[in-house]
Structure 1
Amino acid sequence: MFDFLKRGNADAPGPGAVPETKASAARRAMALGPAGRVAWSPRDTGSLTRAGFLGNPVGFRAVKIVAEAAAAIPLVLQDAARRYAAHPALALIERPNQAQGRAELFEALYGQILLTGNGYVEAVGTGGLPQELHVLRSDRMSVVPGADGWPIGYDYAAGGRRHRFAVTADAASPVCHIRSFHPQDDHYGLSPLQAAAGAVDVHNAASAWSKALLDNAARPSGAIVYSGPDGAAGMTADQYDRLVAEMETMHQGARNAGRPMLLEGGLDWKPMGFSPSDMEFQKTKEAAAREIATAFGVPPMMLGIPGDATYANYQEANRAFYRLTVLPLVTRVAAAIADFLSDHSGERFELRPDLDQIAALAPERDALWARVGAAGFLSEAEKRRLLGLPANSAAGAGSGARDEDAADG
């Protein structure tokens, strides 16, 4: 077991032997920094919101344009028989609380869903329809699962305190939880911002790199090589400190751009970086911006990102934006709110986006009305059903008017 130790001791020099020394034939040396490792930002809700919304113009605009467009779509309320022009639930939605109107409430709700994948609406008041509706911050809310996996409550933490919204089987839930699809989580949704987190990091890093490049006179990094006379030692501590101070004061910053560098005493400048044109840095930044826009379902041309030839013009991009992004979001949220309010009131009804009030979809609606109206083989009830209208014609086809029977509803 100790043979290798014995052999090692036998090869060791004796007490009076001179230690062997080796001298490098290359006296001139150059220090290189280690290659950087990929550093991703944290993936928690707060960090993602700060990096992808508060600190990124593409993510900020993508969330704003989707939330504002979705909140601006009017909603219609109807049941199986008629469509209502006035209803207590519609009045509640139009004025959900003392501080917000319908558009403000829904913009906050859509923003929470886009940023976190979860939206929470609190119902204030008991007995029938709620008196007020409030959107709660998703980063402060946590689901409390029961033994069977279904939520038995929601904990809301704020100001160092925690409030429990209990969910019982004999009463309507005080919180409406709307979540996006998440394939690996039973209680929380997956936000577009989580899917675009890598692109957000690349875009933010590119912006920081561009700013640092401008601060350093728009020149790539390099190395100062010391080539002293043969046999000379390296730079002294005073010489090194003076060189560093001169570089910081005379050759960094925008005001020093273009200033020539005077090197003496065997110093030489060796560029070590690539130019922005070699790295195609601007294209990398634009590609990251397109990935962020794609994750949120916004056509890049609507965010001013160049190079998008998918749509023939802006009008087609706007129509695709409403049809593929805004309408699915509004339809899902409106259905969840309708079920939530129906549980409280005991009256079943549904909320739908009013497609007739969306200017971007007007050509499609005109074509649909023309085709259905010209179909003589269809009855009036079948035509109304194809147009998404209730069966009762007395309520007014698509007008949102209500008959006398609906006045008591």
Structure 2
Amino acid sequence: MVFDRFRRKDNTPPAPRRSVERKASATARVAQAVQGGHVAWSPRDDASLVRAGFAANPVGFRAVKLIAESAAALSLVLQTQSERYDSHPMLALLARPNPAQGQAELLEALYGQLLLSGNAYVEGAGWGADGPVELHVLRSDRMRVIPGSDGWPAGYEYSVGGRKHRFETAAEATPICHIRSFHPQDDHYGLSPLQAAAMAVDVHNAASRWSKSLLDNAARPSGALVWNGEADSLSEDQFQRLSDEISTSFQGARNAGRPMVLEGGLDWKPMGFSPSDMEFQQTKESAAREIALAFGVPPMLLGIKGDATYANYQEANRAFYRLTVLPLAARVTAALCDWLIPGSDLRLAPDLDQVPALAAEREAQWRRVSSADFLTDAEKRRLLGLPVQTMEGTQDG
């Protein structure tokens, strides 16, 4: 890991670019000043949840990828109440945030970290008069918030392989933009959907392992060998030899259907599943729906059977954008805009007219507003979320 980009040449935080008044909360000093880790409410740590709920679970993996890719693909607009900018230093920075990533890649990583851990950290490198030169998304599991005496974050500590770097938080500006989900029991870290769906993830993964074990054993509990010999039971050596022979010669997919030759005194008793034993498949599908519910993805979009909440795929896709993708993108882009240019009246937000899933809805809204003769042009533009005019030149902020 190269740490050079985490250090400024003079080892000082970025100089404030504009004065922003900050008021201290009366409850800040009594807030928790020390946290034991990202997951204060549960013994489940972020790394284990990501491995189980994302890397090893197809439902969690697809839900996170679907939300992150959809949100990162949204067209963004930068505007004030009176004008919209076609070009701006902030738009140029987002279009090429660093030499290794483009806008879609950076935002996908940002949304992914927020969904998986409840926290997302963006580092601004090379701060100048117009803001940072580069943007980098840092791994949430490597970052730790350092609370100050007043309860607000005094800095951020990033750890990799035993090495640590501390980002200091200045009064008006900070090199780290921390975006977190709502957590009712933590002062500094957010609550991820994976934490809420942790039990459903365990059930779904256990059901998958159960299915794999069934396939390894000819997809059914084959049966039992019953000893009917003269002795009360098999000797220890006989039992071990018989178990090894069954494991080697008769278990697994390649040995399915292979006839078994029994010695004297052994009798084969076939066994099957009871109806209650077969309910694990329904349990798995129920757990998959719970995982999708935690992330806000309609199960229909993930190919999960048994969900009839929406009449068709188009309605489910529209609800997905309206209830999940757009609120997430609006909150993240607003936080980035306020961090890059604090105190400005600029607003960075998704362009609703460029979302295919909302095309019919936006067309109907445009038609209603356009036919309202009692409204002025300025009032119509405001109702449609448009500024009074569009600026074509590059603005410096």
Using the alignment, how far apart are the partners of 2:248 and 2:392 within structure 1?
Answer: 80
Greater Rg, structure 1 or structure 2? 1
Residue of structure 2 in register with 1:210 after alignment: 211
Structure 2 vs 1, CA of residues 271 and 143 (structure 1 numbering), >3 Å: closer, same or farther?
farther
Residue of structure 1 in register with 2:288 after alignment: 289
Aligned-pair CA distance for 1:300: 1.0
Residue of structure 2 in register with 1:317 after alignment: 316
Residue of structure 2 in register with 1:168 after alignment: 170
1:359 aligned to 341, 351, 356, which one? Answer: 356
What is the Cα-based RMSD across aligned positions, in Å? 2.1
Aligned-pair CA distance for 1:381: 2.4
Structure 2 vs 1, CA of residues 133 and 347 (structure 1 numbering), >3 Å: closer, same or farther?
same
Aligned-pair CA distance for 1:310: 1.2
Indicate yes or no: 2:46 matched with 1:45: yes
Indicate yes or no: 2:194 matched with 1:193: yes
**What is the TM-score of this pair, normalised by structure 1?**
0.82
Residue of structure 2 in register with 1:402 after alignment: 391
Aligned-pair CA distance for 1:271: 5.9
Q: Specify the SS of the correspondent of 2:124.
A: strand
Residue of structure 2 in register with 1:23 after alignment: none
Residue of structure 1 in register with 2:159 after alignment: 157
Judge which range, 262-271 or 242-251, deviates more.
262-271
Residue of structure 2 in register with 1:183 after alignment: 184
1:74 touches 1:357 (CA, 8 Å); kept in 2?
yes
2:87 touches 2:392 (CA, 8 Å); kept in 1?
no
1:220 touches 1:275 (CA, 8 Å); kept in 2?
no
Residue of structure 2 in register with 1:376 after alignment: 373
Structure 2 vs 1, CA of residues 267 and 190 (structure 1 numbering), >3 Å: closer, same or farther?
same
Segments of 5+ residues of structure 1 without an aligned counterpart are: 1-40, 396-400
Aligned-pair CA distance for 1:195: 1.1
Using the alignment, how far apart are the partners of 2:301 and 2:174 within structure 1?
Answer: 39
1:218 touches 1:257 (CA, 8 Å); kept in 2?
no
Structure 2 vs 1, CA of residues 366 and 380 (structure 1 numbering), >3 Å: closer, same or farther?
same
Judge which range, 304-313 or 182-191, deviates more.
304-313
Using the alignment, how far apart are the partners of 2:84 and 2:232 within structure 1?
Answer: 92
Using the alignment, how far apart are the partners of 2:299 and 2:340 within structure 1?
Answer: 37
- CA deviation string 1:282-305 (max 9, x = no partner): 222211111111111111111111
Segments of 5+ residues of structure 2 without an aligned counterpart are: 1-41
Following TM superposition, the consecutive aligned residue runs of length 4 or more in structure 1 with deviations greater than 6 angstroms are: none
1:147 aligned to 128, 134, 149, which one? Answer: 149
Aligned-pair CA distance for 1:268: 4.1
- Identical-pair percentage: 71
**What is the TM-score of this pair, normalised by structure 2?**
0.84
Indicate yes or no: 2:385 matched with 1:388: yes
Using the alignment, how far apart are the partners of 1:161 and 1:384 within structure 2?
Answer: 53
2:89 touches 2:395 (CA, 8 Å); kept in 1?
no
1:342 touches 1:348 (CA, 8 Å); kept in 2?
no
Judge which range, 287-296 or 235-244, deviates more.
235-244
Aligned-pair CA distance for 1:244: 1.3
Q: What does 1:5-404 align with in structure 2 at a 5 Å threshold?
A: 43-128=44-129, 129-169=131-171, 171-220=172-221, 223-229=224-230, 232-269=231-268, 274=273, 278-343=277-342, 347-390=344-387, 392=388, 395=389, 401-402=390-391
Amino acid paired to 1:62? A
Residue of structure 1 in register with 2:36 after alignment: none
Judge which range, 65-74 or 268-277, deviates more.
268-277
Aligned-pair CA distance for 1:224: 3.8
Using the alignment, how far apart are the partners of 2:392 and 2:143 within structure 1?
Answer: 43
Q: Specify the SS of the correspondent of 1:80.
A: coil
Using the alignment, how far apart are the partners of 1:127 and 1:163 within structure 2?
Answer: 21
2:125 touches 2:133 (CA, 8 Å); kept in 1?
yes
1:42 touches 1:48 (CA, 8 Å); kept in 2?
no
Using the alignment, how far apart are the partners of 1:243 and 1:407 within structure 2?
Answer: 81
Aligned-pair CA distance for 1:347: 4.2
